[in-house]
Structure 1
Amino acid sequence: MNVLNNNHIINNPWLILKEGFNPLRERTIESILSFGNGYIGSRNSLEEYYTISEPTTYVAGIYENIPATNRNELARIPDWTRIQVFLDDNIIDLYDTKILEHKRYLDLKRGLVLREWKSQDSLGRITSIKTIKFISLDNKNTAFKSITIKPENYSGRLKVISGIDGNIIDSKILIPETLELNKPMMLGMETKEGDNLVVITQKSEFIQDNLEYNQKYSNKMVYEEWEWHGEYGKEYIINSLITVFTSLDYKNPIGASIQDTVTDYNNVLISQAESWTNYWNNADITIDNDEQAQRWVNFALYHLISTGKFSGNNNSIAARNLSGVSYQGHVFWDTEMYLLPFYTFTEPEIAKALLMYRYNTLQGARENARREGHKGACYAWESTDSGIEMTPTEVILPYGQIIHIYSGSNEIHISPDIAYAVWQYYQVTEDEDFLVNYGSEIIFETTRFSTGFLKKEDDNLYHIYDVVGPDEYHERIDDNAYTNLMTQHNLEIALKLINLLQEKYKDKYENLRDKINLQDSEISRWKEIKDKIYTGYNPETKIYEQFKGFFDLEYIDVKSYEPRTKPMDVILGRERVRNSQIIKQTDVLMFLFLLANKFSKDVIEANYNFYEQRTAHGSSLSPSIHSIIAARLGKLDQAYKYFEQNAQIDLDDKMGNAAGGIHMASIGGTWMSVVMGFAGIHIYDNGLLFDPHIPENWNNVKFSVNWHGQKINVQVRKDEITFKIIGNQSVNLCIGEDNWKELAPNNTYIAYKDQKWYWKD
């Protein structure tokens, strides 16, 4: 076995290339090169299968209960990517033959994964093999795989097995009583409780003289088998179309799979290319004069596009999407805080569908609150199909120590976070239908829950006790500034919403009040406490104390431990870190980003300077927020450093855990770093503000955003911004700090910087 350099990336920002074969890196590469459409997601495992691999395909929303933990996890389904090639009945693989060449590509522009390899057997016979796989962005139930085989220096007997393998899972496998030639093969799977059925079909095309063809079933696998005489130098191509249907979406998934069987292979390829082109035209970001940054952005956009297309309503985007086992396919606040801005600004229908998932799990959130003795809606820290909390209460470490987990019970900021996302979606889209009919119920019920924790003390202020903020190194703390300020924001938007509903939708407002039994006394209390919540702000230093007593903890110079390969709580121990000012991820800086319009630049800068040197970035959620704030403050060296750190979390496996799946928060954070950081977008109720600070080596950056249904094409240079408004309504934009202008549709506008920003006449 040859082990080659497996980390070479060619000079093309649209391709991610991995060369060679290193078994120790295989599971990481499978994650990095994963592919999907938001409904189906697959790791890019090697088609012939190896025990060092983790071939995994998930279908969004298909969970099964694990009795040992009583938690729902995404269910692995049979592997549709399986292909094996034989020469004279000897399998061609990466262990038993000499590897002359082995490359895998992720084609970001077209949504394809490709593989090229040449192997030489003990007789010196060289075989070239190429594969292409993709999951359709046009049809959520369809996938495609293709193999090309070429005998380079011989003629001989070739055999290909291609099928659907159920051996990788322990769920119940169902097969048809008979396999019929010239009809699609079918394999079924039942989840462990028997409440979900997944049906996978395969239909292939291979035209060849003197071909022996069979469909077979063996050991939980159905497969097609072709055998023929391969001629020296000739290429042989087998194309296969796959469909995946489930009882979650179809009453009769078997019937649906039969009716939907596609046989036009060329049309599937054409539709895939067209769909990706359309999405890139809408969401693309181009950076002039920084190829590395362009690759980072392309990689992030690829995963955002491929993950979002068919997500939402009854499912959402998991923290590791559909690319790996980490977090068991559970949905966290990552979706609303880090992913929703991209979809809201580029594909608002996807953003709406993701928020509808929160509406559709509102009953589960109410049940979570009720179990803890509270009113309203407590959204789960780890959520699945029902919205019921899935976070374990404790874990047992390998050496027997029991660690209590408080995020599910005490990290209550998740509810105001989701309310924030609902309001931000409304601000950007002006979608009053969603706000009135769905979002308002979320906002009122989360306000109800959040305000239930507020306790009035002798200082005449309201406090929140015994919580966990975003920084999970410090648990069960009092007056976490992030939690308190997001609770206050929850209150503010609830009261704004009441005014809107009373003014324009009085009947619907009264119906909603009746539905959720919202009393006048509750609303009066909301008004009374809104401006009396303790924040921990010190006007002399302009710094917010992360929580009560934080300033009294030991200061440890985090940067003196750089570079490091382990998190700080492992290096120093949990107790030492808990009693220090080392923080896992952005906490105070997180609300200074989310609620930036409430704070002056000098307050933001004072807190950035204080907390930046205390943050260990032990979470993938952290670097992008530092990049955004640093860019807005004009600290471009630091902004770019954190932009790079965030972008490399998966591409270069900087945290050492990419094998568990793509970190979607950092993926969304890459887009936010460019658009909301370097381009300086701020969201106001009455319009968008741009205050850009782009890296010195960037000539320009181009992108598009939607605002109130109008598309805005933006080009940012160091001292100039060009806006082109596409639509039928004017938009209100601000450049710099306070230079607002109403821009008419279908016109181009230029702003320039001469110490301050000005509009060009």
Structure 2
Amino acid sequence: MKDYIVKDEWNIIEEGFDPSLSKISESIFSIGNGRMGQRANFEEKYTGDMLQGSYVAGIYHPDKTRVGWWKNGYPEFSDKVINAANWIGLNIEVNGELLDLNVVKVSEFRRVLNMQEGYLKRSFTAEFDSGALIQVNATRFCSIVDDEVGALRYEIRPLNNNIVVKLGVYIDGDVRNEDANYDERFWKEVAKKDIKSGAVLTLETKRTAFWVTTAMQYEIYIDEQQAELNEQLIEREKFISKESNVKLEKGQSLVIYKYAANLSSENHPKELLESNAIKILESVFKKGFKHLKYEQSEAWANKWKESDILIEGDVAAQQAIRFNIFQLYQTYTGEDARLNIGPKGFTGEKYGGVTYWDTEAYCLPFYLATADQQVARNLLIYRYKHLEKAYENAQALGFSNGAALYPMVTINGTECHNEWEITFEELHRNGAIAYAIFNYVRYTGDNNYLEQYGLEVLIGIARFWSQRVSWSDAKNQYVILGVTGPNEYENNVNNNWYTNTMAVWCMQYTIDTIGLVQQSNANRYSDISIKLNFNLEETGKWNHIIQNMYFPEDKEHGIFLQQDGYMDKEQILVKNLPASERPLNQKWSWDRILRSCFIKQADVLQGIYFFEENYSEDVIRKNYDFYEARTVHESSLSPCVHAILAARLGDEKRAYEFYLRTARLDLDDYNNDTEDGLHITSMAGSWMTVVEGFAGMRVRDGKLHFSPFIPEKWISYAFNIRFRNKIIRFKVTKEEVLVDNNSNEELDIVLKGISIKLAAKGTYKCSLIGKN
């Protein structure tokens, strides 16, 4: 765990330069706008330990799979979002010496990520071997108004002598991915072009043939007067730069304004990429840096009005939740149904920038409650558009008759994960997608989605589960063999309770949805039946499975058993593990982990979280106390589920501890892996912890239910919720709960078990403790 980020309500602040923390900070201070993103690499050259990262949404490369032993069903390629052209680059020499923070003496280093207004700022003083001393101030952002544009301002001021600055302003497409399986470079050059005070570079991805055009334009000022420069064009393969020399007197200010546009062939015809990039660049150049930054501030102010969580009395908690919300909105805006959310977003290469079940299980609730309904709908449409690929994925593993198996890891619907215990066995991802459909419809009341898209997906998933089960003569029940549950520290187990539970639920929900669509839109149901060659007789087998599924349990402990044989393991509690052996995934062999009882993340408890209303408090408590004591929380997705269930059980101490862990996971580098990129999908879990945990929000019978408490350290907390085209403001203090209906229609809610009718534009207030 690290603790070097300064606590502040609206800013992420680093003071002092420590090269050993550089890659962690590159992740933490990342910027993006849903269309493009950038790690917090320095504008100037840096030869120290770093991970160069600039990303364009939707652009990927199928990296050749590299495994020790090929198994039938492995994908041939592993798709990954790739490092794109570096648009921020500046090459700076002072009196012939390169400005490189790995070489010069650095002091007064400060970096600030301003979350309220959406920009990154950095300042430092650099001393060269020659004795020259300069001060640098740099600011940059990815515009959420013009979402194909980035802009930066870079100021150099000599402090003790006159200097000569050799300045190179460049675009570098000769980049690589650190995680390339065969050290391959994924880009080839299409064209480059010299334009006035700028340049254009167009690259093409190998195999996928995406084109990306990066265009830059810049201007230079000395003491606020535009400089006339004698520019020299420098060209190499996949690289173009403009170089010039500038003389500065002591105390003078040299300011570089650089604007860049990143356009892809996903959004523009290839033949128009260059001209469109230049047009967009000309438009933002006319606006100027100051106006672009003002627009950025205004746009972020509007986002915060909808999504902010205000916490009084706990700066660490306040900073953390805003950081999580900020990064979520930098990653995904919901404007393009072709895009989804990678576990690392635009902040690093790990997990390849591809989509996991994290989106459906963790991110969907956040976007349901904080954005327009279409945003969450687009997340589901993304999966619907990949349904044909899900059929193909199932067929590759031997399934037939329209069975659909969604990939564990994907960009375009094709499975691109090649670890057998994940690719072939972590089948519960199918359940998460079905649950997301249920969750969306329950929250929005949008049954039309089921007619248009959802039922087709559900039938494919139900068909998969009906073929994946086996009949056990010994148990006289159905079983599911050879799976990996959410706890990836167990592989190839039989009858994972969570997987069996999801399989049965998926088939039952599909049957229920069939009935609903039959009743609401008989013509559409008929069309689906013909398209899928579906006959109601299929549900006979589904019902038989539902009624005869085996679920492991341990009656002695009163718990659902994570899988067959779990109690055969030596039962050691996490509290008895030496700290020197944590995290297990970095200290133990895989064999030792698999033989242990230790759990990576919520497994049984994930199922209890999803279907909490089906279980008594006693059942939840027994399972929670048993499994949490054995959970090492070495997945970023783990603490939030445990926090929410702890809150449900009235365990305020553990709920708060797990909230801080999930919310500050990256800021404090809890799992020693922030340098690879941020844990974007688990950040949605931080929001869930406050809203579903502390505020106790649930949706039941078409109504919002709340059962709030307030952590001891907090004075108050408040947030907005969008629900069925209405917006409410929910606030909890030490003494009372206040609910404002900010809509023009009345709204029925349930607060602490009491039904309340909120008048349009009305307010309801009650005591936090005791009677209303």
Same fold (TM over 0.5): yes
Which secondary structure state, in structure 2, belongs to the residue aligned with residue 410 of structure 1?
coil
For 1:185, the equivalent position in structure 2 comes to: 199
**Structure 1 residues 56-71: aligned runs within 5 Å:** 56-69=53-66, 70-71=77-78
Given the alignment, which residue of 229, 246, 268 partners 2:264? 246
What corresponds to 1:706 in structure 2?
A: 722
RMSD of aligned C-alpha atoms?
2.2
1:244-283 residue pairs with structure 2 within 5 A? Answer: 244-252=262-270, 253-261=273-281, 262=283, 263=285, 264-265=287-288, 266-283=290-307
Counterpart-to-counterpart distance in 1, 2:578 and 2:681: 23
Pick aligned residue for 2:655 from 604, 619, 639: 639
CA contact (8 A) 2:477 2:549 kept: yes
Structure 2 matches for 1:534-553, cutoff 5 A? 534-537=550-553, 541-553=557-569
How many residues align? The count is 738
CA contact 1:283–1:703 (8 Å) conserved in 2: yes
Please state if 1:392 is matched with 2:409.
no
| 2:220–2:226 CA contact under 8 A, matched in 1 | no
The within-5 A match list for 1:42-191 is 42-51=38-47, 52-69=49-66, 70-169=77-176, 170-174=185-189, 176=191, 178-182=193-197, 184-191=198-205
Q: Which amino acid aligns with 1:596?
A: E
Contact 2:192/2:200, CA 8 A, preserved across alignment? no
The answer to whether residue 210 in structure 2 is matched with residue 196 in structure 1 is yes
Using CA pairs below 8 Å that are at least 6 residues apart, which structure has the higher relative contact order?
A: 2
Shift of 1:728: 3.5
Residue 225 of structure 2 is aligned to residue 218 of structure 1:
no
State how far apart, in whole Å, the 2-side matches of 1:448 and 1:706 are. 34
Q: Is the 8 A contact 1:440 1:497 kept in 2?
A: yes
Cα distance in 1 for partners of 2:393, 2:136 equals 53
Q: Is the 1:686–1:732 Cα contact (8 Å) retained in structure 2?
A: no
1:19 aligns with 15
CA drift of 1:19 comes to: 2.7
Cα distance in 2 for residues equivalent to 1:633 and 1:578: 30
SS in 2 for 1:241: strand
1:175 & 1:391 partners in 2: Cα distance?
30
Q: Compute the displacement of 1:311 (Å).
A: 6.5
Deviation at 1:539, TM superposition (A): 6.4
The residue aligned with 1:401 is: none
Say which SS state the counterpart of residue 638 (structure 1) adopts: helix
Deviates more, 1:85-94 or 1:185-194: 85-94
- The 5 Å alignment of 1:230-379 reads 230-252=248-270, 253-261=273-281, 262=283, 263=285, 264-265=287-288, 266-309=290-333, 312-347=336-371, 348-375=373-400, 376-379=403-406
**Native 8 Å contact 2:62 2:208 kept in 1:** no
The one-letter code sitting in structure 1 at the alignment partner of 2:41 is S
Q: Distance in 1 between matches of 2:719 and 2:477?
A: 44
* Mapped contact 2:721–2:727 kept (Cα < 8 A): yes
- Matching residue of 1:664: 680
Partner residue in 2 for 1:421:
436
Q: Which amino acid aligns with 1:380?
A: P
Assess if the C-alpha contact under 8 Å between 2:605 and 2:641 holds in 1.
Answer: yes
CA–CA separation in structure 2 for the residues paired with 1:371 and 1:726: 51
State whether residues 193 and 201 of structure 2, in contact with CA within 8 Å, keep that contact through their aligned partners in structure 1.
no
Whether 1:380 and 2:404 are equivalent positions in the alignment is no
- CA drift of 1:228 comes to 2.5
In structure 1, the gaps of 5 or more residues are 1-5, 394-404
Structure 2 partner of 1:602:
618
- The unaligned stretches of length 5 or more in structure 2 are 67-76, 177-184
Please give the alpha-carbon distance, in whole angstroms, between the structure 1 residues aligned to 2:85 and 2:26.
17
1:569-608 equivalent positions in 2, closer than 5 A: 571-608=587-624
Distance 1:80 1:589 in 2: 45
- Describe the shift of the 1:479–1:95 C-alpha distance in structure 2 as closer, same or farther (beyond 3 A): closer
Q: Which moved more, 1:321-330 or 1:287-296?
A: 321-330
Judging changes above 3 Å, is the alpha-carbon distance between structure 1 residues 96 and 660 closer, same or farther for their aligned structure 2 residues? Answer: closer
1:24 and 1:9, CA in 2 relative to 1: closer, same or farther beyond 3 A?
A: closer
Cα deviation code 1:583-603 (max 9, x no counterpart): 121101111111111111111
**Cα separation, 2, equivalents of 1:34 and 1:210:** 31
One-letter code aligned to 2:308: D
State the alpha-carbon separation in 1 of the partners of residues 584 and 193 from structure 2: 58
Give the superposition deviation at 1:378: 0.6
Query: In structure 2, the residue corresponding to 1:406 is in which secondary structure?
Result: helix
TM-score w.r.t. the length of structure 2 is 0.91
SS of 2:194's partner is coil
Residue pair 2:192, 2:201 contacting (<8 A) in 1 also = no
Q: State how far apart, in whole Å, the 2-side matches of 1:501 and 1:528 are.
A: 22
Task: Give the alignment's TM-score, normalised by structure 1.
Answer: 0.93
The answer to whether the Cα contact below 8 Å between 1:480 and 1:548 also exists between their aligned partners in 2 is: yes
Equivalent residue number for residue 733 of structure 1: 749
SS of 2:5's equivalent? coil
- Look up the match of 1:437: 452
CA distance in 1 between partners of 2:404 and 2:65 (Å): 28
Tell me the percent identity: 30
- Residue 38 of structure 1 contacts residue 317 of structure 1 at CA under 8 Å; is this kept in 2? no
Question: What's the offset of the Cα at 1:87?
Answer: 2.1
The range that moved more, 8-17 or 604-613, is 8-17
CA distance in 2, matches of 1:607, 1:7: 33
3-state DSSP class of the match of 1:309? coil
| 1:292 counterpart letter in structure 2 | A
Please give the alpha-carbon distance, in whole angstroms, between the structure 2 residues aligned to 1:93 and 1:249: 37
CA change 1:118–1:475 in 2 (3 A) is same
| Worse overlay, 442-451 or 35-44 | 442-451
CA shift for structure 1 position 674? 0.8
DSSP-derived class of the 2:100 partner: coil
Instruction: List structure 1 runs of 4+ shifted beyond 6 angstroms.
Output: none
Is the deviation greater in 410-419 or in 253-262? 253-262
SS state at 2:767 partner = strand
User: In 2, distance between residues paired with 1:100 and 1:359?
Assistant: 53
Task: Report if aligned partners of 2:489, 2:599 keep a CA contact under 8 Å in 1.
Answer: yes
